[in-house]
Chains A and B, each alone.
Chain A
């Protein structure tokens, strides 16, 4: 019998030469987000953990060969005796973190979001979540934050992780929030999955006098026409889009929802119920199974019927390339968000 021919994905690109002057390179793993002239802060997670560890002897760090790419190397350098390099072996890293937690320690385990969500889900759910152990899983490259293609783009990690009972899920916006959230999750008893921006991370929320509160959504700016409900780096985008839309007379509120689970339903319902506003969710994640659908279900269950739109990544394997190009292409850049909102009003 002749084997069936597979319908392979064909490259949609033809070979091309790069024109002189045109050079937008694929972002390397170490690259930060384009900060657009903003102040940035180096390795906020690593430095927060080092600071915490001064008074918390129970804190230990583990990684599966990605300390440099998750900012855990800062902790490893400060506390070599409390750092476990587990090798390129995510299953034993997660299981060993569970074992250390059983013995009274508070492990912070780091890898990329694709590996934590896809490769070792069974280990996280059974060794950690089912027993409600205080392991903090901190993962770089969430959503579309690398141009390396689907092997590194965790576009569906929230959809996967939201299904796990007991798990708290955090999607912080910037350096300020990563610093505060790292301290907050160390103090919370159960398991946590936190998405991480690493390297030179923009300081966005500093100017708003924001304080992270675990489990709480907070209005960062108010507005009459549009209510953005956003998390993670998309709160950077919605805040910038709100400024741009203001110039066109569109008044946008931004409700920042860094805790994806448990979702702050009370605040979301209260804000959406104020009426007269288009509700637009915005997330650095597939439109399936993330913040947008969580908010939609919350509003439906509460009987809140409002005009609703969703900004997020398509249900597709995304292209490789340069991040600014990809963010435009997939509708999560400031200009794409601004244009989408205008088209809906």
Chain B
């Protein structure tokens, strides 16, 4: 089995990978003058652990049958996933400047037909976990030991179809399914916890029969431990990692801004953000 980390061979730290993902995302935002940069900066650590610690894949063969499937149901997070896939060598870095442009392989909302390594067309929230259930069932039919990861958002938990999939995954004992919830407490109209996420999240999943963990999604060591525990968990049940993340993580002047779903960044601020990030480059 080839892991992303092994393929990339080096002893580059996860902190450095997360930094590079943030940098790619900021550069894409700068090119396009917009983008879901708040989410991308927030989830960069989780993606670094996914692509450089947990997932098996072959950068030069994104459809390799043995790969772990990573399903992004939150299509607007595409900027974050492109950033990770560029760092992983699945997408070429020089395409970064095409983000959101006509004829680009990197549209604003992630779609399977456009981008190598993009497993599904996301964007209509509440679809990803159900598709993940079907893929996990399919892998079991084929006796393929790969995992299916589905990255979903806290806001997406408001969709009833997500809970159909939550129940179904337990019904079918999908121990090859790992859900990753990016809980940044921000949906389009305001805080998620003021909409439909009043009850502690992990307890809900646990009550449905999942092996649930809740971690600080910006603490790399904690995220690594959670992914390891999810993969190595012995019981025949699906697994979820609730990752509490901070929108705009790593760029203090954006973090302190009144956070919205679509963070406004002025044209001159992109360069300033990159400058701050470059000053914090980890080893």
Task: Mark each residue of chain A from 93 to 114: 1 if its CB lies under 8 Å from any CB of chain B, else 0.
Answer: 0111111111111010000000
Neighbouring A residues of B127 by C-beta, 8 Å? 95, 122-123, 126-127
**B167 CB-CB contact with A under 8 Å:** yes
* CB < 8 Å neighbour of B124 from A84, A96, A104, A122: A122
Neighbouring A residues of B124 by C-beta, 8 Å? 122, 126
Task: Mark each residue of chain A from 52 to 94: 1 if its CB lies under 8 Å from any CB of chain B, else 0.
Answer: 0000000010000000000000000000000010110101101
Q: Is the CB of A87 within 8 A of B137?
A: no
Q: A95-B161, A126-B121 are in contact. Are A100 and B167 (CB under 8 A)?
A: no
Q: A87-B168, A130-B121 are in contact. Are A95 and B139 (CB under 8 A)?
A: no
Bound form: Cα–Cα A314–B171 in Å: 43
Q: Is the CB of A95 within 8 A of B131?
A: yes
Bound form: Cα–Cα A127–B119 in Å: 11
Chain B, 161-175, CB within 8 A of any chain A CB: 161, 164-165, 167-168, 171-172
Q: Is the CB of A97 within 8 A of B134?
A: yes
* CB < 8 Å neighbour of B161 from A86, A123, A130: A123
**B160 CB-CB contact with A under 8 Å:** yes
**B135 CB-CB contact with A under 8 Å:** yes
* CB < 8 Å neighbour of A92 from B130, B135, B139: B130
**B126 CB-CB contact with A under 8 Å:** yes
**A266 CB-CB contact with B under 8 Å:** no
Task: Mark each residue of chain B from 92 to 132: 1 if its CB lies under 8 Å from any CB of chain A, else 0.
Answer: 00000000000000000001110000011101101101111
| Interface residue SS majority, chain A | helix
- Chain B residue with Cβ nearest A64: B164
Q: Is the CB of A104 within 8 A of B138?
A: yes
Neighbouring A residues of B165 by C-beta, 8 Å? 91-92, 95-96
* CB < 8 Å neighbour of B141 from A89, A103, A126, A127: A103
Q: Is the CB of B168 within 8 A of A92?
A: yes
Q: Is the CB of B171 within 8 A of A95?
A: no
Bound form: Cα–Cα A98–B161 in Å: 14
A65 to chain B, nearest CB (A): 12
Q: Is the CB of B130 within 8 A of A91?
A: yes
Q: Is the CB of B126 within 8 A of A99?
A: no
Q: Is the CB of B168 within 8 A of A96?
A: yes
**B14 CB-CB contact with A under 8 Å:** no
Bound form: Cα–Cα A96–B134 in Å: 4
**B248 CB-CB contact with A under 8 Å:** no
- Chain B residue with Cβ nearest A90: B164
Q: What band does the interface of chain A fall in when counting residues whose beta carbon is under 8 Å from B?
A: 20 to 34
Bound form: Cα–Cα A102–B161 in Å: 19
Bound form: Cα–Cα A104–B135 in Å: 10
Q: Interface size of B by Cβ–Cβ distance < 8 Å?
A: 31
Neighbouring B residues of A94 by C-beta, 8 Å? 130
Bound form: Cα–Cα A91–B156 in Å: 14
B58 to chain A, nearest CB (A): 18
Q: Is the CB of B130 within 8 A of A103?
A: no
Bound form: Cα–Cα A104–B63 in Å: 12
Task: Mark each residue of chain A from 123 to 151: 1 if its CB lies under 8 Å from any CB of chain B, else 0.
Answer: 10011001100000000000000000000
* CB < 8 Å neighbour of B133 from A99, A101, A104, A122: A99
Q: Is the CB of A99 within 8 A of B135?
A: yes
A135 to chain B, nearest CB (A): 10
Bound form: Cα–Cα A98–B135 in Å: 8
Bound form: Cα–Cα A102–B126 in Å: 18
Neighbouring B residues of A123 by C-beta, 8 Å? 127, 130, 161
**B136 CB-CB contact with A under 8 Å:** yes
- Chain A residue with Cβ nearest B142: A103
Q: A99-B138, A103-B138, A131-B113 are in contact. Are A89 and B133 (CB under 8 A)?
A: no
Bound form: Cα–Cα A101–B112 in Å: 14
- Chain B residue with Cβ nearest A132: B113
B171 to chain A, nearest CB (A): 7
Bound form: Cα–Cα A103–B141 in Å: 9
Q: Is the CB of A98 within 8 A of B138?
A: no
Q: Is the CB of B171 within 8 A of A87?
A: yes
- Chain A residue with Cβ nearest B168: A92
Q: Is the CB of B161 within 8 A of A103?
A: no
Bound form: Cα–Cα A198–B184 in Å: 49
Neighbouring B residues of A87 by C-beta, 8 Å? 164, 167-168, 171
Q: Is the CB of A91 within 8 A of B160?
A: yes
Q: Is the CB of A84 within 8 A of B137?
A: yes
- Chain B residue with Cβ nearest A120: B161
Interface centre among A91, A95, A98 (most CB of B within 10 A): A95
Neighbouring B residues of A84 by C-beta, 8 Å? 137, 172
B31 to chain A, nearest CB (A): 26
Q: Is the CB of A89 within 8 A of B164?
A: yes
Q: Is the CB of A95 within 8 A of B133?
A: yes
Q: Is the CB of B135 within 8 A of A103?
A: yes
Neighbouring B residues of A98 by C-beta, 8 Å? 130-131, 134
Q: Is the CB of A89 within 8 A of B135?
A: no
Neighbouring B residues of A86 by C-beta, 8 Å? 168
B167 to chain A, nearest CB (A): 7
Bound form: Cα–Cα A101–B119 in Å: 13
Neighbouring B residues of A103 by C-beta, 8 Å? 134-135, 138-139, 141-142
**Closest 7 pairs between A and B when the two form their complex, measured CB to CB:** A99-B134, A95-B130, A103-B138, A96-B134, A91-B161, A99-B135, A92-B164
Extra contacts besides A96-B130, A100-B137 (10): CB < 8 Å:
A87-B164, A91-B130, A91-B164, A99-B130, A99-B133, A99-B135, A103-B134, A107-B134, A123-B161, A127-B121
- In the complex, 19 of the A-B residue pairs with CB atoms within 8 angstroms, ordered by the A residue number, are A84-B137, A86-B168, A89-B168, A91-B160, A92-B164, A94-B130, A96-B130, A98-B131, A98-B134, A99-B134, A99-B135, A100-B137, A100-B141, A101-B134, A102-B134, A103-B135, A130-B121, A131-B113, A131-B121
